[in-house]
Amino acid sequence: MPTNQEIAEKLREVYNLMQLAGENRFRAIAFDRAAQTIEGLSEPALQYVENRNLTDLKGIGKSIAEDIYSYVEKGTMPVLEHLREKVPNGLIEWLHISGLGPKNIVKIHRELGITEMDELKQACKDGRVASLSGLGEKSAAKIIKSIEWLEQFDERCLLSEANEIAETMKGYLEQQEGVQQIEVAGSLRRRNETIGDIDILVGADEQDAAGIFDAFVDHGMVVEVLGRGETKSSIRTEAGRQVDLRIVRPDQFPAALMYFTGSKEHNVGMRQRARARKLSLNEYGLFQLTEDRETDFDKPVDYNSENDIYQKLDLHFILPELRENWGELDYFEKHESMPLVEENDIQGVIHAHSTWSDGKYTIEQMARASAEKGYTYLGISDHSRTAAYAGGLSIDEVKRQWDEIDRLNETFVKEGVEMTIFKGIESDILGDGSLDYPDGILEGFDFVIASVHSGLDMPLDSMMERFMKAIEHPVTRMIGHPTGRLLLRRDGSKLDMNRLIDWAVRNDTIIEINANPWRLDLDWRHGTKARETGLHTSINPDAHTIDGIDDIRYGVMIARKAQFDKKRVLNTLSASEFKNWLACTSGK
């Protein structure tokens, strides 16, 4: 039976298609509101379907309720099927273009008579789009850039999506007869923010391989078998993702796992170290060299694990997320380990939204959910007033929210619930670098996250001045999602991150790792600079839903890849330690 999220996705698809079809705007909005209602339920929507009382929910009328009943009970939603026939498929793809909303999609389609992505790209290049009222050359240039991003990353997906597919398939395969060893490999094992093909490696005896491959291609998520061989098979999932399964002999497994984990640059460095020691390293194992410096496959070097191979090459074990040839070989030649933050180190949730702005759950619901997940504090940080599109808080609403937080904290104390809510705000950094409320209001928050949400395409120098002024402000405790990127959708702002990190450290300001899988920003590639300067971070889910809190796990993956240890991650502090930190850094 469909989940709340699946029902909401269908309703939101109706909303998007109605706009593309030019139907009544208010009717379309009704579907969007219904989707928000279903997403915000703390219990399964199926209960309301079974009891035929969906109309008891705010925002769901009789007509939409009937659409939901049909989808749950019959698997189809007539209004959606009608719209899919009415709206060309090409226009649906245009919805993925950053900055091109349904209104302009309809305008371009109607006035230029085009429906395909390549036609749109050409129309932007030859000036036809720029000639339309309300668009212009800048809009056309942005559309081209977004299309090029979609073309570049079409075969890639987010870390979170790949991880879910890999965990499902790995859990299934490890139960198959003959599987002796199994690991996810490739860029997913290295925790890259976007993933191409998903690689799974199995160690098994030759006589068991065929049965394991049979189970692999027969899994329920498989929609297409791309290839089937004696050592490798490839499939495509319902989500369009390619998964490759390789099977090697158990004695080859450690070397194969190292090889197929990569990165290519790391592997090159490892092979060079091997040859300097008169050895040869490849996916089949570690071998001695002949006098002619060829691989002597008759003289393998014994090992039982990846760790053994590293030791044979005078290295300590290198964690997979660090294998990017960013100095890890030199480091682990001298150091036994690099302490990195772990998921169970995180004690509090910072940067979360509620129904006061654009969140889907109340502060109390977010707080209780955080407590149930094992966290002891919640730093609520709804949008500031300039972000009107996201329900930004007026000054009066800020004060009323503070009162609500005070009442909730008193309630938790009385109930013996180990949960403290801190009063925060995600303040827009305005175009001139100022923050979004008078200082008297800003000083009333426990913490301020300063973020850019508009004017993301400012020139480098202007954007740097904007950020640096915001960082200098005495109330700014941390910078949110610094580049503003949306992975696979939108490039980030032009920033000199090295200068920005230096400035943040100088002004005792944290730069968050936004754990939302679409962002994962601060980028891990700035981790070496952050480590050298002592930059602190906070692994923040930017949660707009209860499920969004769980995105912390992806932020931890990126923090580890960026070489952050527990001591440099703010929300590894206990609630009392976090409160003390706020007091000590007041006014910076």
pLDDT reported for residue 226: 85
Into which CATH architecture does domain 157-248 fall? 2-Layer Sandwich (3.30)
Instruction: Flag whether the pTM goes above 0.85.
Output: no
Residues of the chain with CATH 3.20.20.140: 343-584
The CATH number, out of the four listed (2.40.170.20, 3.40.50.300, 1.10.357.10, 1.10.150.110), of the domain defined by the range 4-152: 1.10.150.110
Dihedral sign for Cα atoms in the order 245, 250, 251, 257: positive
User: Crossing angle of helices 117-125/137-152, nearest 10°?
Assistant: 140
Strand-pairing partners, residue 427, are 450
Measured in residues, the chain has a length of 588
Question: Which residues, including other chains, have CB under 8 Å from residue 268's CB and lie 6 or more apart?
Answer: 325
Taking only the tens place, the pLDDT of each residue in 181-205 is 999 999 999 999 999 899 999 999 9
Residues of the chain with CATH 3.30.460.10: 157-248
pLDDT reported for residue 189: 98
Residues of the chain with CATH 1.10.150.110: 4-152
Question: Which tokens is 116 given?
Answer: 């395909």
Report d(CA 524, CA 493) in Å as an integer.
16
Residues of the chain with CATH 3.30.210.10: 257-334
Q: How does pLDDT run along the chain (588 residues), one tens digit per residue?
A: 677 778 888 998 899 899 888 888 888 888 988 887 886 665 678 888 888 989 998 789 999 999 999 998 888 899 999 998 888 878 888 887 866 778 889 889 888 988 888 899 999 999 999 998 888 888 898 888 878 877 766 678 999 999 999 999 999 999 999 999 999 999 999 999 999 899 999 999 999 999 999 999 999 999 888 888 889 999 988 887 889 999 999 999 999 999 999 998 899 999 999 999 999 999 999 999 998 898 898 999 999 999 999 999 999 999 999 999 888 999 999 999 999 999 999 999 999 999 999 999 999 999 999 999 999 999 999 999 999 888 999 999 999 999 999 999 999 999 999 999 999 999 999 999 999 999 999 999 999 999 999 999 999 999 999 999 999 999 999 999 999 999 988 889 989 999 999 999 999 999 999 999 999 999 999 999 999 999 999 999 999 999 999 999 999 999 999 999 999 999 999 999 999 999 987 777
pLDDT reported for residue 99: 67
pLDDT reported for residue 153: 63
User: Is 3.30.470.10 the CATH classification of the domain at 257-334?
Assistant: no
CATH class for the domain made up of 343-584: alpha beta
Q: Tell me the residue ranges of DSSP E strands in 120-197.
A: 157-158, 181-184, 194-195
